[in-house]
Amino acid sequence: MASSSERYDIIFLAKLAAQAERYDDMIDTMKKLVKFNIDLTVEERNLLSTAYKKVTEPKRESWKLLSITEKEEDTIYKNETYMKCIQDYRNIVESDLANICYDVISLIDDHLLPFASSTESYVFYLKMKADYCRYMAEIKTGDEKSLVAEESLKTYKKAMDVAVVQFSPIHPTRLGLALNIAVFYYEVSNSYQRAYQLAKETFEEAMLELDGLGGRAYSKDSKVILNLLRDNLTLWKAENDESNL
């Protein structure tokens, strides 16, 4: 069990690392807290999530760009030497990204989910685990892809089963969860209709809930996610024929 002073020191260092944009250090610092086997506060959960996101996102973008370059080389230029070079480099990025995902999933399974003491933290951890399984599914192929995709969807559904009972339709955790499940359907499962329908239903339910608030303020995070849902609906509708939606 971490003492209050130890906890404070760790959080201070994590924030300092974030300020310095040293996100690998931020991860190492937050892992020390996680391994005390305690439930994290909202602030601590957000710091952990931010640390891994800041390290993961550039690698995901690098992998996507290299994959596009690889396809272009294969279909247009057809230079075997360059092709091999691109593949080798993509594999390095893929390995780095996979290791981060495995690290997150292990932390959540071993040190966070078993000690979750609130519905909020329990759903947060499940969502985060499902997200990193999804990132794995984006870069893997064959049986490996199928396994992590299945685990991702199973974990998303487990989180959503709790969220729809415990949280309102405009709760940011519930909204973020629905958004990411829709993205999973669209980008991993290629289930365009399911992605669109889930995003549409989530957005419409949230709008009805907001009407009932009578103009009262609601979470800034919820506003951001609702905008993302709306943007995705517009994009997905434009990318696919009306008959498919």
Q: How many domains does the chain have?
A: 1
pLDDT at position 168: 94
Distance CA 197, CA 125 (A): 25
Positions of the chain with pLDDT under 70: 1, 214-217, 241-245
pLDDT at position 3: 82
Distances from the Cα of 239 to the Cα of 65, 160, 189, 192, 245, angstroms: 20, 27, 16, 10, 10
What backbone torsions phi and psi does residue 138 show, to the nearest 5 degrees? Answer: -65, -30
pLDDT at position 181: 98
pLDDT at position 240: 78
Query: Is there a domain that residue 106 lies in?
Result: no
pLDDT at position 101: 98
What tens digit of pLDDT does each residue of 114-162 get? Answer: 999 999 999 999 999 999 999 999 999 999 999 999 999 999 999 999 9
Query: Is there a domain that residue 209 lies in?
Result: yes
pLDDT at position 214: 63
Query: Is there a domain that residue 241 lies in?
Result: yes
Q: Hey, CA dihedral for 57, 172, 158, 182, is it positive or negative?
A: negative
Q: Who's near 62: CB < 8 A, 6+ residues apart?
A: 93
Query: Is there a domain that residue 57 lies in?
Result: no
* Residue 215 falls in which region: left (phi positive, over 0), alpha (psi -120 to 50) or beta: left
Query: Is there a domain that residue 204 lies in?
Result: yes
pLDDT at position 211: 85
Range of the domain at 174: 167-245
Query: Is there a domain that residue 195 lies in?
Result: yes
Query: Is there a domain that residue 46 lies in?
Result: no
Which strand (E) or helix (H) includes residue 224?
A: helix 220-239
Distance CA 158, CA 163 (A): 9
